[in-house]
Structure 1
């Protein structure tokens, strides 16, 4: 299918350009990528670019490399982990100022036994701060194994070319058909999230452009939640608070939750992606509002009626009323308050702050947002059940 002579010239030109760049490449490829290796290993000067290429092929080797048996071997999560492994290996060998990328690739291509699923490849490129993802679904049944391998290797090369030079060569993938599909995305904040998980940092804040915010930034109004998913109700609430208080409004997700499973890195990154172009998202390690108040002093938390009920439920304080009051005292001492938005209860009745039994001396910490001014009954739980 491919016109190999001009393609070979294009490939050689890009390989030469990458070799002339300062980039150092470490890679882990499963299921494909042999042509990519051939192009570099047969080209003089590649030793200053390529550090190592691993080709784990059996499931047992991949499991050992990942440290677990993944939920499927050909997906973005595995490609990301391969890229992370490659990046971290290179990072141990080279100086911090070096331009290092880890490349991860996992694919399912034509085999002796026909595959039931799609022929596809995931390519991830990890740099110090970013994770760049590429996905290629191949038009099944129109190429031989060798032709698919060649196309996938060109896709890997194309992803690296885009990373190194912010450019693309349309002719490198010119033989894509209408049945092939390419998707690409970039997570600018990947490195910050990884560092957050690996250190004792209490929180990180990422703005709507994907950039890390300085911790000196003050937070005045925060909407906490799991945002699984982020929906129009959350966005409309943020806009309402901005207009009402004439102040910035930020969102917050805790990776720890007293009612739900802890979140892993991939889940956090997926949740963060929802806020690109929307607003600042804070990722914290605070399980309780008492902990949140320590890190976000003077802040007002915008919560739903159901969350306010849980804040005052002794079940979350080992059934100890005094422990609950101690938590409220910590929040109060840190000058934090709650703005409470009405919500539907499990029976479909609308509830607001007037339906909450607040202990004496703490009523001024809870302010109701009148439903005539703002009400939105959509819920993430309902959206998930519909999907």
Structure 2
């Protein structure tokens, strides 16, 4: 029996019926394999109560468009997690404000299955279910050369349906056709109430404490804020924070933005993984996607950033190429008593610093450089990720 052909006494049909009878509403994005789950969900009566959208961004360009940026790899944990978050975003848009976010799911799945040509890599599927309070990631490693493409597709389809069922709180699919040579691992991250409040934009900021706990109140008021993705945090971040504290003569806190201006929001697993290295000082986790919003959260603070981020602060594309919007944003930042302290950075064109930027004349005083003899570190998070190191 194929996943797309499901009479009413078939276990997959029964699981899907239970999903449709639940209040769950789901948006799905599936690439590389498992798209039969969309057909299966739609083939069972009641699909309109459950399925908000199903997309198959199969081409690399389609997946890049769906995520809003090109992933480092097209079939790995990070891409599956980003797809789940993007799907949840789609669900919130399509369901509208009248639908409780607690009933919404975003499912992202990426797979690398058998092909006509000999395949060097593993046969695998990674599936994320994102909700308003949790991130669940399943990784299925399939026994190589043990199934046809159709059989692998069918198994991934079954797993997608099973994960939707579990997230919907209905009995899971009982007929998952795994062999002893397959390996399925699932991990779930449940957000703390404080983190969930920030992620769902019910509260603008939560503080990750050195003891591993959370607080909605700051332990102190920093004079500086070092914003970053910290993927991963490395010695350059630490040295920059120390240099900024020396210049500003006060404490500088770290800030991780859960919702970014030019990237998908971070999932809960990623946030937890990145915050766990901040054992030396609190980390602010915010929903402030822009520096205008950050200036409202941290009035009077100096934002410590690299020249690449400073370039984005003044980039016309973030202001709809409207000079008046850029001017208004920088005026608001100034009115909130904030400014920027900018460190240089090595890129393909050599060492770039604040002098390389074409700053708006009327706002130049908002930007101050950190001299290279005070701070320069040519380590980057991207290079560390590409090398496979963690620090």
Could you tell me which of 173, 176, 196 is aligned with 1:173? 176
Could you tell me which of 143, 163, 172 is aligned with 1:159? 163
- Asked if the contact 1:125–1:132 (Cα under 8 Å) also holds between the matched residues in 2, the reply is yes
Cross-structure match for 1:308: none
Cross-structure match for 1:238: none
Secondary structure at the aligned position of 1:111 is classed as coil
| TM-aligned CA deviation for residue 130 of structure 1 | 2.6
What does 1:195-234 align with in structure 2 at a 5 Å threshold? Answer: 201=204, 203-206=205-208, 213-214=215-216, 217=217, 219=219
Following the alignment from structure 2 to structure 1, what is the Cα–Cα distance between the partners of residues 122 and 256?
A: 33
| TM-aligned CA deviation for residue 131 of structure 1 | 2.3
- Asked if the contact 2:17–2:45 (Cα under 8 Å) also holds between the matched residues in 1, the reply is no
Cross-structure match for 1:183: 186
Cross-structure match for 1:283: 285
Higher relative contact order (CA 8 A, sep 6+): 2
Cross-structure match for 2:118: 114
Cross-structure match for 2:315: none
| TM-aligned CA deviation for residue 35 of structure 1 | 2.4
| TM-aligned CA deviation for residue 30 of structure 1 | 0.5
Following the alignment from structure 1 to structure 2, what is the Cα–Cα distance between the partners of residues 147 and 2?
A: 9
- Asked if the contact 1:36–1:154 (Cα under 8 Å) also holds between the matched residues in 2, the reply is yes
Question: Would the alpha carbon gap of residues 50 and 386 (structure 1) be closer, same or farther in structure 2, given more than 3 Å must change?
Answer: closer
Secondary structure at the aligned position of 2:57 is classed as coil
Structure 1 length normalisation: TM-score? 0.55
Following the alignment from structure 2 to structure 1, what is the Cα–Cα distance between the partners of residues 20 and 39?
A: 14
Could you report, residue by residue, the CA deviation over 1:343-374 in whole angstroms, capped at 9, with x for unpaired residues? Answer: xxxxxxxxxxxxxxxxxxxxxxxxxxxxxxxx
Following the alignment from structure 2 to structure 1, what is the Cα–Cα distance between the partners of residues 58 and 130?
A: 21
Following the alignment from structure 2 to structure 1, what is the Cα–Cα distance between the partners of residues 255 and 146?
A: 47
What does 1:42-57 align with in structure 2 at a 5 Å threshold? Answer: 42-57=43-58
| TM-aligned CA deviation for residue 7 of structure 1 | 12
Q: List gaps (5 residues or longer) in structure 2.
A: 235-252, 258-262, 300-340, 344-352, 354-387
- Asked if the contact 1:25–1:52 (Cα under 8 Å) also holds between the matched residues in 2, the reply is yes
Following the alignment from structure 2 to structure 1, what is the Cα–Cα distance between the partners of residues 99 and 167?
A: 19
What does 1:359-378 align with in structure 2 at a 5 Å threshold? Answer: none
Question: Would the alpha carbon gap of residues 220 and 155 (structure 1) be closer, same or farther in structure 2, given more than 3 Å must change?
Answer: same
Cross-structure match for 2:133: 129
Cross-structure match for 1:25: 26
| TM-aligned CA deviation for residue 75 of structure 1 | 1.6
Could you report, residue by residue, the CA deviation over 1:205-248 in whole angstroms, capped at 9, with x for unpaired residues? Answer: 3579998643xx463799x9969579xxxxxxxxxxxxxxxxxx
Structure 2 length normalisation: TM-score? 0.55
- Asked if the contact 2:136–2:187 (Cα under 8 Å) also holds between the matched residues in 1, the reply is yes
What does 1:236-247 align with in structure 2 at a 5 Å threshold? Answer: none
1:66 aligns with 2:70: no
| TM-aligned CA deviation for residue 162 of structure 1 | 1.7
Could you report, residue by residue, the CA deviation over 1:111-132 in whole angstroms, capped at 9, with x for unpaired residues? Answer: 1122211111111112223322
RMSD: 5.0
